[in-house]
Amino acid sequence: MKTKDLILVSLFAAITSIFSQISIPIQPVPFTFQILAVALSGAILGKKYGALSQVIYLLLGSFGVPVFAGFKGGFNILIGPTGGYLIAFPLAAYITGIFSKKKDCLNIFIGMFIGLVVIYILGMFQLKFILNLSYSKAFSIGVAPFLVFDIIKIFISSFIASQVLKKSRIKIQA
């Protein structure tokens, strides 16, 4: 890994940490801008480094660094009701990275959308099991309130990422 790649991976872990603090603390799942950071990390860094940036973010949080929403940290967050969403971040970034190779807005959006679906599925399942909810209740409190806003976020992110990729020297890693 080159120094430049290490810096970019670290930068996107930090960006995810910052975006997680831009939140509205509704319960049990807060509204945050983490999706924006996860999507951008996969699109701009590619599948390998985008996923790595999110693994670093999760490791920081699991070791107690207050990088999760509401300045929370600790392994208990990852095994709690909202942990499934967080655990899906590296996978979502990886999927987005697969689709970002062509650097066009539509492919990037498709990758981000599939990544978002993965985040919702893993998040909803963990929310359901930890809080002993029905699938419909888990969907209604863990997905439905966020769906429109998250699609808007990935639409904006796909445009930003395609422009950054077209105008920068960042090479997407395989």
pLDDT at 30 (0 to 100):
82
Residue type, 18: I
Per DSSP, 32 falls in state E
Predicted confidence (pLDDT) per residue in 21-57, tens digit: 998 877 788 888 999 999 999 999 999 999 999 999 9
Reported as a single tens digit per residue, the pLDDT across 110-127 is 999 999 999 999 999 999
Which whole-number Å values give the CA distances from 120 to 127, 143, 146, 151, in the listed order?
10, 6, 10, 12
Pairing mode of beta strands 23-24, 31-32: antiparallel
Nearest residue to 111 (alpha-carbon basis) of 155, 145, 53: 155
Q: Which residue has the higher pLDDT, 130 or 27?
A: 130
Q: What are the chain's domains?
A: 3-167 (1.10.1760.20)
